[in-house]
Chains A and B, each alone.
Chain A
Amino acid sequence: MVNAHFILRQITGARRQSALFVLCVALSMITLVSLGSFNRSVQRSLWRDARALHAADIIVRAHAQLPPPLETEIAALTRNRAITTARYYDFYTVIQKTTGEGSLLSDLKAVEPGYPFYGQVLLASGRPFHEVLTTGSLIAERSFLDRLGVRTGDRVRIGNATLTVKDVVVQEPDRPVNFFALGPRVFVPAADLPAIGLLGKGSRAEYVTLAKLTDQAKLAPVVEALRSAAGESRVRVETYRDADSRVKKFFDNLLFFLDLSGIFTLLLAGFGIQSTLFALLKEQEKTIAVMKAVGAKSRYIIGHFLAVTLLLGLTGTVAGLAASFALQRYLPRLFSGLIPAQVDYAVSGWAVAEGVAIGFIVVLLFTALPLYRLKEVKPRIILGKEEQEGFWTRSTWVIGGTGTLFFFAMVLLKIRDVTTGLYFVGAIVGLVFAAFVLASIILWGLKRLHPKNLALRQALKGLFRPRNASRPILVTLSAGFAVIFAITLVEQNLDASFIQSFPPGAPTVFFIDIQPAQKDDFAKTLGTKGEFFPIIRATINAINGEPVDMAKQRQSRGDNLSREFNLTYRDYLLPDERITAGKALFRNDWQVPQVSVLDTVLKMHQMKVGDTLTFRVQGIPIEARISSIRTRNSSGFTPYFYFVFPPSVLADAPQTLFCAARIAKKEIAAVQNRIVQRFPNISVIDLTETAELFGRIMGKLSTIVRFFTSFSLLAGILIVVSSVFATRYARTQEAVYFTILGARARFVMAVFAVENLLLGVSSGVIALAISQVASLAICRKSLDMEYHPYLAQSLLLVLATTVLVMVVGMAATIPILRQKPVVFLREHAEE
């Protein structure tokens, strides 16, 4: 039998604690549901995005007309309605103005109607692509118009045909796949190809057949059929799923991080739930003792308090779900622009079910210990003389163990990797243990302090007053803060690595084939600061005298040693490089030629510092000893070289220069024209659009990361509030005694302030120590990136947590101070 009246009284009697409990549950629910839904949206849109990046499900690439058997197969598949196809032809050509002088190398894409099957070609006019690209018309990138000096409506000559510039292309779905182009993109209808007359014998073009599946489930058999029809020919049959997995890997990393921060938030909310419940039950201790004294069984009491928690948990769940649904209205704005294709941000039913189930388990798990503890409440407590048993009883261990197992299961569920799961659970156990040890050390140290100031002394005494849970509070606070600090630090580092990849000064335009004699003049004509890199082409013939097996190298799927490499020379490291092996970039004590190798090369062939590489530099062999191995930490467009030599070795070899410069978008056309006019041999590669796109995506991503990590910050605040509530009773008592003994409110306030200050600073410092070690490990090991400790921000974090603990603590204390001692004494004497 459950007494509804009793349950209601418990809840209304401890409104603040109840509200806090509901908030904690709601927060964990929001985290679970939002993250779950976001995860699903991203996964779904990633595939859609992969399709958009290739504009199709299946892509058949060739450098000539397809072999007849393949054509027959495609025709058969089309007839069976298994696929729909659209072709395009991609080649470079020099497009001429019809009036006046002027021609421009352009990257022509002649497309059939139907292209693109996925994603969209966006035009400046906003009109649909296929409506504009009719026979005789042409759509080009803005830079085409700028550089050739034509406007929409003008006519230009391509091959034997004259076409009209109809519109400007703003976005091309499959552009990022091959963004390294020598000329601007120009679209023409494939129907105009015969008139243009540039394809055929003696031309070089990519013949691409895009296929869209009618039934997505048939991907594998259709690809198999096409591949077998292609046979041994040089035709490549690809699917959007084989696509460059770099983007996917990046998102995997991001989602992994978000999942971790989600689980941490859950953990923090759990701590919050537990400590709120402890506080709630603590206030009811005497009631419980009375109930027991009049014959109530433990089971009856636990049952009733379980009902209280479940009711609160349910309220929290409902509130959390409601908030999640409300949040979905905001999420699209947060994610918009991140992924070109539209993503539906709807709350996924699965995420809700998962969230409710996990939330329920979390509530049960974190309430188990406080509820179980009710058994240990003895009726003698009524007399107020009973000391509590130690915290670390068997029940604590059992419940703690179950909790650990549960979180391990959570990690497995979310991350699906046993090793990571073990690491994670190990990390949490380590975290709590480290927090416990450090808290004990600090408390031990504080106990030995005997300051002269009375308030300070009283505050210190307060920390060690009987029944004051200073250590558990300190452990909970510092563990919680450590997690928040760690998330903040990792986020800062992630952010920094994004920014490093796309720093504000990153180059956007590359100039190739600058001749050494042109360097000074070129730099002057460029008009802005450019970075120059000499390039010397060479092959590697032997490693430690052992000839490189070129045939074997060529079989390697990835990059390999069989190709020609671009060597360079300089005697300094680039800002984004660091040495991972070897004393310095080059050794002063070596007389032989030296070379510094980028760690990427080690993936192609094993080599180490001290090994000798034999290069063939344009007919002349050079033997160089490896002086260092370098790594680079940015993934952006900054130029990098596998092999760097000291200037003395290569400065005299035939070389060309490569220049990377950052040029404002609106000046690019003018600069390009100026350079090409003066140095017609220099080619320009313009990455502005791509760099801009990537920069935008990265900015968006860091917003998302911040958004989700703010949940854990909120959870941290709840913990502070709940732990203050947990000691509210003891504090009230103390304040009353101080007042009775004649202390002024100001003194009592000072004592509490110092106590809170000590708690805040201690937990902040412990958290900082733990989080620095943890974030270093996460950044270096899991995310494989540089780590910066961000000391200034760290100190700010400690300061902020201290202020937070003080503010929350004082906010909870002030009402206590307002209470008249006599009221407190009368109330408690009545019990």
Chain B
Amino acid sequence: MRPITLVACALTFCTLMGGCKKEEPATARQPADQPKAEGTIVAVGDSLTAGYGVKEDEAYPAQLERKLEAAGYHWKVVNAGISGETSSGALSRIDWILKLKPDIVILETGANDGLRGIDPAVVKRNIDRIVTGLQAHGVEVVLAGMQMLTNMGTGYTTSFVKIYPEAAQAHHLILVPFFLTGVAGDASLNLSDGIHPTANGYKIVTETVYPYTVKAIERKRSKKQSGS
């Protein structure tokens, strides 16, 4: 019994130290730090994932990790969001993402392409490639659906919104129909710029993403079981 207690103490100590010293949740560290995690979920995305303008622990990945934990899913959620990133940027950093050894990736991208009026076909192609790359490494992908601002024009928004269900269908992905359901367009849930959610906004985003994440976990588990 004794050695185990010691190890547990040491682990707790490490985690605490890590938490204090770096102000960096243990989530970003190597899996070895948290042996109890069943797997790693990497939240890939832009400012909507990074949590632009809110504290790190208020952004959706941190909230999602807490929610999963509370429900008994001991999964680590890494926030790999980069503000301002387009789908092309996401495609370029696939190798970096794979270094984090994800079991599941929640892919939220394309919003910045949309804001810059980039051809939806480009976004579609990028997402196809990202997903193919991830799936080749056995990663389960949850694709966050996105819509575009009405002011971009109907022609643009219609072709934009189609990207996500089409990609999900083509690659058998779990699709979150719209990442910002109940948040987009509501001034009280967004920062003054009107497009980035507040901490409360992220609470709703977390609720939206949660069931699909659980679905991905279940899928991953069943694959593992059938694999072993």
Q: Given A92-B151, A234-B187, list of 20 further CB < 8 A pairs?
A: A63-B193, A63-B194, A92-B117, A94-B152, A96-B155, A158-B153, A182-B117, A198-B153, A199-B150, A203-B151, A513-B88, A515-B88, A545-B21, A547-B23, A618-B80, A618-B96, A656-B92, A680-B118, A680-B119, A681-B87
Q: List 11 A-B contacts (CB under 8 A).
A: A92-B115, A103-B156, A158-B153, A198-B150, A515-B88, A515-B91, A541-B22, A564-B84, A619-B78, A656-B92, A680-B122
Which residues of chain A have C-beta atoms less than 8 A from B86's C-beta?
A: 513, 681
Give the distance in Å from the alpha carbon of A203 to the alpha carbon of B184 in the complex: 9
Tell whether A614 is near chain B: CB-to-CB under 8 Å.
yes
Whether A654 and B118, one on each chain, are in contact in the complex, defined by CB atoms closer than 8 angstroms, is no
Tell whether B219 is near chain A: CB-to-CB under 8 Å.
no
Give the distance in Å from the alpha carbon of A182 to the alpha carbon of B93 in the complex: 24
Which residues of chain B have C-beta atoms less than 8 A from A205's C-beta?
A: 151
Give the distance in Å from the alpha carbon of A190 to the alpha carbon of B130 in the complex: 42
Whether B115 and A201, one on each chain, are in contact in the complex, defined by CB atoms closer than 8 angstroms, is no
Residue of B nearest to A516 (CB): B92
Count of chain B residues near A, Cβ 8 A? 50
Give the distance in Å from the alpha carbon of A421 to the alpha carbon of B118 in the complex: 58
Contact flag A619-B100 (CB < 8 Å), given A63-B192, A92-B117, A202-B184: yes
**Closest Cβ of chain A: how far from B121's Cβ, in Å?**
8
Which residues of chain B have C-beta atoms less than 8 A from A564's C-beta?
A: 50, 52, 83-84
Which residues of chain B have C-beta atoms less than 8 A from A64's C-beta?
A: 187, 194
**Closest Cβ of chain A: how far from B43's Cβ, in Å?**
9
Whether B117 and A94, one on each chain, are in contact in the complex, defined by CB atoms closer than 8 angstroms, is yes
Residue of B nearest to A104 (CB): B117
- A residues 92-106 near B (Cβ < 8 Å) are 92-96, 103-105
Whether B117 and A105, one on each chain, are in contact in the complex, defined by CB atoms closer than 8 angstroms, is yes
Whether A621 and B22, one on each chain, are in contact in the complex, defined by CB atoms closer than 8 angstroms, is yes
Give the distance in Å from the alpha carbon of A64 to the alpha carbon of B194 in the complex: 9
Tell whether B167 is near chain A: CB-to-CB under 8 Å.
no
**Closest Cβ of chain B: how far from A636's Cβ, in Å?**
23
* Complex partner residue of B28 from A513, A545, A620, CB under 8 angstroms: A620
Residue of B nearest to A654 (CB): B93
Tell whether A683 is near chain B: CB-to-CB under 8 Å.
yes
**Closest Cβ of chain A: how far from B86's Cβ, in Å?**
5
Give the distance in Å from the alpha carbon of A64 to the alpha carbon of B187 in the complex: 8
**Closest Cβ of chain A: how far from B104's Cβ, in Å?**
15
3 A-B pairs with the lowest CB-CB distances in the bound complex, closest first? A105-B117, A654-B93, A203-B151
Which residues of chain B have C-beta atoms less than 8 A from A680's C-beta?
A: 118-119, 121-122
Residue of A nearest to B126 (CB): A681
Please indicate which of the listed interface residues A94, A108, A541, A620 has the most CB atoms of chain B within 10 Å of its own CB.
A94
Which residues of chain B have C-beta atoms less than 8 A from A104's C-beta?
A: 117
Give the distance in Å from the alpha carbon of A96 to the alpha carbon of B184 in the complex: 26
Whether B24 and A616, one on each chain, are in contact in the complex, defined by CB atoms closer than 8 angstroms, is yes
- B residues 135-157 near A (Cβ < 8 Å) are 147, 149-156
Give the distance in Å from the alpha carbon of A424 to the alpha carbon of B35 in the complex: 71
Which residues of chain B have C-beta atoms less than 8 A from A91's C-beta?
A: 151
Which residues of chain A have C-beta atoms less than 8 A from B117's C-beta?
A: 92, 94, 103-105, 182-183
Whether A541 and B23, one on each chain, are in contact in the complex, defined by CB atoms closer than 8 angstroms, is yes
Whether A93 and B23, one on each chain, are in contact in the complex, defined by CB atoms closer than 8 angstroms, is no
Please indicate which of the listed interface residues A204, A516, A550 has the most CB atoms of chain B within 10 Å of its own CB.
A204
Which residues of chain A have C-beta atoms less than 8 A from B36's C-beta?
A: none
Which residues of chain A have C-beta atoms less than 8 A from B187's C-beta?
A: 63-64, 234
Residue of A nearest to B116 (CB): A683
Which residues of chain B have C-beta atoms less than 8 A from A234's C-beta?
A: 187, 192
Which residues of chain B have C-beta atoms less than 8 A from A95's C-beta?
A: 153
**Closest Cβ of chain A: how far from B56's Cβ, in Å?**
8
Which residues of chain A have C-beta atoms less than 8 A from B52's C-beta?
A: 564
Residue of A nearest to B61 (CB): A619
Give the distance in Å from the alpha carbon of A541 to the alpha carbon of B156 in the complex: 39
Whether B149 and A204, one on each chain, are in contact in the complex, defined by CB atoms closer than 8 angstroms, is yes
Which residues of chain B have C-beta atoms less than 8 A from A198's C-beta?
A: 150-153
Give the distance in Å from the alpha carbon of A621 to the alpha carbon of B147 in the complex: 33
When each residue 38-82 of chain A gets 1 if its CB lies under 8 Å from chain B and 0 otherwise, what string results?
Answer: 000000000000000000000000011000000000000000000
Whether A619 and B152, one on each chain, are in contact in the complex, defined by CB atoms closer than 8 angstroms, is no
**Closest Cβ of chain A: how far from B70's Cβ, in Å?**
23
Give the distance in Å from the alpha carbon of A108 to the alpha carbon of B100 in the complex: 42
Give the distance in Å from the alpha carbon of A513 to the alpha carbon of B93 in the complex: 13
Tell whether A220 is near chain B: CB-to-CB under 8 Å.
no
When each residue 259-270 of chain A gets 1 if its CB lies under 8 Å from chain B and 0 otherwise, what string results?
Answer: 000000000000
Tell whether A542 is near chain B: CB-to-CB under 8 Å.
yes
Which residues of chain B have C-beta atoms less than 8 A from A183's C-beta?
A: 117
Which residues of chain B have C-beta atoms less than 8 A from A204's C-beta?
A: 149, 151, 194-195
Give the distance in Å from the alpha carbon of A621 to the alpha carbon of B154 in the complex: 42
Whether B154 and A160, one on each chain, are in contact in the complex, defined by CB atoms closer than 8 angstroms, is yes
- B residues 53-91 near A (Cβ < 8 Å) are 55, 78-89, 91
Which residues of chain B have C-beta atoms less than 8 A from A621's C-beta?
A: 22, 24, 28
When each residue 538-552 of chain A gets 1 if its CB lies under 8 Å from chain B and 0 otherwise, what string results?
Answer: 000110010100100
Tell whether A200 is near chain B: CB-to-CB under 8 Å.
yes
Which residues of chain A have C-beta atoms less than 8 A from B211's C-beta?
A: none
Tell whether B113 is near chain A: CB-to-CB under 8 Å.
yes
Whether A537 and B83, one on each chain, are in contact in the complex, defined by CB atoms closer than 8 angstroms, is yes
Which residues of chain B have C-beta atoms less than 8 A from A545's C-beta?
A: 21
Residue of A nearest to B186 (CB): A201
Tell whether B182 is near chain A: CB-to-CB under 8 Å.
no
Which residues of chain B have C-beta atoms less than 8 A from A158's C-beta?
A: 153
Residue of A nearest to B27 (CB): A619
When each residue 17-59 of chain B gets 1 if its CB lies under 8 Å from chain A and 0 otherwise, what string results?
Answer: 0000111100010000000000000000000001010010000
Tell whether A400 is near chain B: CB-to-CB under 8 Å.
no
When each residue 106-136 of chain B gets 1 if its CB lies under 8 Å from chain A and 0 otherwise, what string results?
Answer: 0000000101111101100010000000000
Whether A619 and B151, one on each chain, are in contact in the complex, defined by CB atoms closer than 8 angstroms, is no
When each residue 88-124 of chain A gets 1 if its CB lies under 8 Å from chain B and 0 otherwise, what string results?
Answer: 0001111110000001110010000000000000000
Give the distance in Å from the alpha carbon of A712 to the alpha carbon of B109 in the complex: 64
Which residues of chain A have C-beta atoms less than 8 A from B184's C-beta?
A: 202
Whether A614 and B89, one on each chain, are in contact in the complex, defined by CB atoms closer than 8 angstroms, is no
Give the distance in Å from the alpha carbon of A94 to the alpha carbon of B152 in the complex: 5
Whether B88 and A681, one on each chain, are in contact in the complex, defined by CB atoms closer than 8 angstroms, is yes
Give the distance in Å from the alpha carbon of A697 to the alpha carbon of B89 in the complex: 38
Give the distance in Å from the alpha carbon of A205 to the alpha carbon of B116 in the complex: 14
**Closest Cβ of chain A: how far from B116's Cβ, in Å?**
5
Contact flag A515-B152 (CB < 8 Å), given A63-B193, A620-B28: no
Contact flag A202-B92 (CB < 8 Å), given A92-B152, A513-B86: no
Give the distance in Å from the alpha carbon of A537 to the alpha carbon of B117 in the complex: 22
When each residue 278-295 of chain A gets 1 if its CB lies under 8 Å from chain B and 0 otherwise, what string results?
Answer: 000000000000000000
Whether B22 and A619, one on each chain, are in contact in the complex, defined by CB atoms closer than 8 angstroms, is no
Which residues of chain B have C-beta atoms less than 8 A from A202's C-beta?
A: 147, 149-150, 184-185
Which residues of chain A have C-beta atoms less than 8 A from B195's C-beta?
A: 204
Which residues of chain B have C-beta atoms less than 8 A from A93's C-beta?
A: 151-153, 156
Whether A542 and B22, one on each chain, are in contact in the complex, defined by CB atoms closer than 8 angstroms, is yes
Residue of B nearest to A562 (CB): B53
Whether B149 and A203, one on each chain, are in contact in the complex, defined by CB atoms closer than 8 angstroms, is yes
Contact flag A94-B92 (CB < 8 Å), given A63-B194, A681-B86: no
Residue of A nearest to B86 (CB): A513
